[in-house]
Amino acid sequence: MLTASRSLTEHRFVPATPSDRRSPCPALNALANHGYLPHDGKDIGLWRLIQALRLVYNLSYPLAALLAITGVLLCGHAWCLDLDALAMHNRIEHDASMVHANTQPGHKRAPTLVDPKLLHSFLAQADAHKGLSLADLAKVRIAREARLSRPLDVIHSEVGMGEAALCWLILKEKNGRIPLSTLEQWFGEERIPDAWSRPRDEIGLFEARETADEVASIMGHIKK
């Protein structure tokens, strides 16, 4: 069982094998690759998922529970979750992902492997010295959605902005930017970044909502 007293350094990074199940979500894949969730990505219990989100990313209980319960209810079985089930198209997963290709026509699941070209274009938005800001993440969302043949529906558009908000809240440093090396490891390798520290302050539901609204505001302003 995970406890808050356990150090992040106790969990060595072990990349996924072809037999392991992974999702389109780098946050969850990193938890599995470090053993905070079962490494095979199968039959993850609801409480185990909530604990891992709280322990590693310092999400509040209401926020962690909301994310975990939503995932289990929409994609899980018997209050458990296989990570690859989160790839079911248009449940929670959606097109215009940061680093994952869109679901192919006729397919029911999205790709779970990082797309090298999308990763490269994403990392190119970060300043080599200053990193990536929340506004930069909003610009990436605009660029990804602009490539779609038809817009995301309202729900999945909100999900996309929420993902950008959580990414920033979890990974940002005191200057409000995410270092390029952190982005490379979290998104590219799906590992907990070497130089990253767990957020000092708990990330709450209202803070996440307000940050997602800020992403929406930035996107709206840029599109004008």
- CB of 204 closer than 8 Å to CB of 127: no
Give the helix ranges, DSSP H, for 172-203.
Answer: 180-183
Give 44's DSSP letter.
Answer: E
* Average confidence (pLDDT) over 151-174: 97
Q: Mean pLDDT across the stretch 161-166?
A: 98
- What's the maximum distance between 2 C-alpha atoms anywhere in the chain? 50
Mean pLDDT of 210-220: 98
Domain boundaries, the chain: 20-97+110-223
In this structure, CATH architecture of domain 20-97+110-223: Orthogonal Bundle (1.10)
The pLDDT tens digits of the residues spanning 49-95 come to: 999 999 999 999 999 999 999 999 999 999 999 999 999 999 999 99
Q: State the pLDDT at residue 223.
A: 85
For the whole model, what pTM was predicted? Answer: 0.94
- Percent of the chain topping pLDDT 70: 96
Per the listing, tokens 């990349």 go with 15
119-154 pLDDT, tens digit each? 999 999 999 999 999 999 999 999 999 999 999 999
Looking at residue 11, what is its pLDDT?
A: 86
To which residue do tokens 């990804």 refer? 144
Q: How does pLDDT run across 2-57, given as a tens digit for each residue? A: 444 445 557 899 999 999 999 999 999 999 999 999 999 999 999 999 999 999 99
Q: DSSP string covering 47-106, please?
A: HHHHHHHHHHH-B-HHHHHHHHHHHHHHH-BTTEE-GGGGGBBTTTB-SS-SSSPPPPTT
Task: Give the pLDDT of residue 4.
Answer: 42
d(CA 134, CA 176): 8
State residue 96's pLDDT score: 97
Q: Is the pLDDT of residue 175 over 90?
A: yes
Going by C-beta distance under 8 Å and a sequence separation of 6 or more, which residues neighbour residue 164?
A: 98, 134, 137, 138, 140, 141, 212, 215
How high is the pLDDT of residue 1?
38
